[in-house]
Each structure stands twice: as C-alpha cells, then as structure tokens.
Structure 1
Amino acid sequence: MTNTVNEPTSTTNLDHSGSAALDWSRPRDVLVADTPETDLTFFVSTVRPDGRPHSAGVGAIWVDNALYFVSGPGTRRARNLAANPACAVSVRLRGIDLVLEGDAHRVTDPSTLEQIAAVYRSGGWPASVEGDAFTAPYSAPSAGPAPWHLYRLTLHTAFGVATAAPYGASRWDFTAQ
C-alpha cells in the first residue's frame, strides 16, 4: 500500500559521523521552491527487459507532493516503464543530493495533464495538451519526438545526503511496513 500523503512512514539515519537524521521537509521544500523555475537536471533510471539499467536526463517537476516527468513513447525510457514501472530519479538540489525510488505510471487524466502543462509553461517550456499527451515547439532531444507522455512517480523510498550544513544522510520510506 502506498502512502498517499507523501509523508514518510519511517526515517532512517544513514550518517555514521554523528549527524542527526534529516527531516523529509528539507528536500521536499527545495523541490517545491525550485521546480520548475530553477534549472535542475533530473536523471531517470529504468530497467531494460534484459535487466540492464538505463538512465537519461529529464525535465521533471514537483507538483502537489509528486514528481512528474515526460518521455516520448518510442524512447528506451518509456518502453522500459511500459514493461516495468520501477525506476529511480536522481537530482542535486540546493544543499542536498536526492534519490527518489518508486514506480512511474503514465498520466492520461485530462485535468491533471492541463494542470501539469500549466506548471511546465510557468517554468518556460510551452507545453500544451493534445489528446492524452503533451506537445510543444521543442523538447529535450532525449525526450524523443512529440507527442510526449506524462509520468507520475509513486514514491516508495528516498535517500538524501546533505551537501551543506546541517550535514547528514537519511533514508525515508513512504510505504506501509
């Protein structure tokens, strides 16, 4: 069962130097403040059908306690997610490196597509909804050609390593034990 409020069900201190566990609000608040206006590079790692990893940069945004990203249906990333939704998303935020693990599923709900397209537009990418996908005059080459599918990450686990004071490292679990 997934924790739908996106607050951790448990926190584990991974720091062995005596620093306290980090609070989930630290990376969450930076995600809220910095996406989509700040130029952040997110990397989505998926699993190929033969078990080998695949990773690619994506333009991701944090909206209403969830991470969203796009991919063209013909990309390796989208084909991998269609076969196995398990993935990890990595990003360097202000003061903390973050890895988010979970399952990414395609979003086709018209109201969610419109909401997320509006957020992307506010950050400078002129996305519009066409059918159950996005179009725009341009996107990152790694996204493949339009249309682009929208994915939402259902968060299971996150790891954070602070790169600024207060230092520390933590694991946050978001699923029922």
Structure 2
Amino acid sequence: MNEPTSTRNLDQYGNAELPWSRPRDILATDTPTEDLTFFVATMRPDGRPHTAGVGAVWVDDTLYFVGGPGTRRSRNLAANPACSVAVRLRGIDLTLEGDAHRVTDAATLERLAGVFRSGGWPATVAGDALTAPYNAPSAGPPPWHLYRLTLHSAVGVACAEPYGATRWTFAH
C-alpha cells in the first residue's frame, strides 16, 4: 500500500489529524460506481493554470484518469507531468498532488478498461489507449490516453464528523 511518509495536522479548531485510510478507503469503495467528479489541474507552457473535469478511478492505491491526446490537459502533461486532482468524497474534500504519466502497457490498459466498464463506461483498448462509444466532451475525440498519478502529497478537509484537515506526504 502507498502509505504516507509524513502527516501534518492542518486543523485550526483542535481536531485530531485525519488518517489517510479515510479518503483512501472511500476512493477504493466509490470508484468507479459512484457519481464522482474529479478535476485535474495542469500548467500551460506559459505558466497559466488549466483545470478540467476527468473520468477517474482508484485502483491498487493509484489514481488513473483519461484525456484525449489533443486536449489541453494531455498537451500540458506531455510538457510538464506535475498536476493536482481534486474530488469531493463522502464526508471529505480531497486534493491529490503529483506527477501524471501516460500508461501504454496492454495489461494495465485492459485491467483499467474493465474497471471503467464495471462503473458503466464501456471502455475498450484500442492500441495504446482507450476508446468507447462516448465520453465527456472535455475528453476530446477517441482514443483517450490513460494517465497514472504518482502521488506526492494529498490534503483532506473533512466536511463530516470526525472533522479535521490533514496533509499527507508520500515517498516518490
């Protein structure tokens, strides 16, 4: 498991630090079947930020997301893999920070296509990418690249009991 190497309590109201298992277990349980909207933020070559909604799943303690090769996010990641991904989970808002790299190996693509299918998106493998009869307009036209986020840090802010705010740092 990808466990944090350090934890920092960010709470200003006396609440205890949150365990990493809280958001991790919700990600593992709720993706891909719950209606979660993930937002990935990347950096344009001129330094301006870009944010877009993405389809994402949490598999084996890793976040995977998709993007068409011509989309701004894919072009940004090709030049600079640093990004953040934000999502509102049950009872906790979560931001993940790290580097996203394209996945092209057939076994991982097949496995992740199956995970996406289990959540209702009929993804299949097409060469070194994914395809399906449809996707969100923000994904661009098929085929879609699959990205793996190498997690550097995460911040969780609980919006349900037990409350708190915590930053987790991971070895990379």
The interval holding the TM-score normalised by the smaller chain is over 0.9
- Of 160, 168, 173, which residue of structure 1 is paired with 2:169? 173
Residues 14-62 of structure 1 deviation map (CA, whole Å, 9 limit, x = unaligned): 0011000000000000000100000000000000000000000001100
SS of the residue corresponding to residue 143 of structure 2 reads: coil
Does 2:21 correspond to 1:18?
no
Partner of 1:60: 56
Residues 130-162 of structure 1 deviation map (CA, whole Å, 9 limit, x = unaligned): 110011000000000000000000000000000
Partner of 1:88: 84
Q: How much is the aligned-residue C-alpha RMSD, in angstroms?
A: 0.7
TM-score scaled by length of structure 2: 0.99
Partner of 1:144: 140
SS of the residue corresponding to residue 80 of structure 1 reads: helix
| Residue 175 of structure 1, CA deviation | 2.1
Gaps of 5+ in 2: none
Partner of 2:67: 71
Q: Distance in 2 between matches of 1:6 and 1:44?
A: 20
Deviation beyond 4 Å, 4+ runs, structure 1:
none
Q: Taking every aligned residue pair, what percent have the same amino acid on both sides?
A: 76
SS of the residue corresponding to residue 111 of structure 2 reads: helix
- Of 46, 63, 72, which residue of structure 1 is paired with 2:42? 46
Q: Distance in 1 between matches of 2:12 and 2:122?
A: 45
SS of the residue corresponding to residue 78 of structure 1 reads: helix
TM-score scaled by length of structure 1: 0.96
Residues 37-89 of structure 1 deviation map (CA, whole Å, 9 limit, x = unaligned): 00000000000000000000001100000000000000000000000000000
Does 2:129 correspond to 1:157?
no
> Which residue identity is paired with 1:15?
D
> Which residue identity is paired with 1:21?
E
Does 2:87 correspond to 1:99?
no
Q: Distance in 2 between matches of 1:30 and 1:139?
A: 24
| Residue 6 of structure 1, CA deviation | 1.4
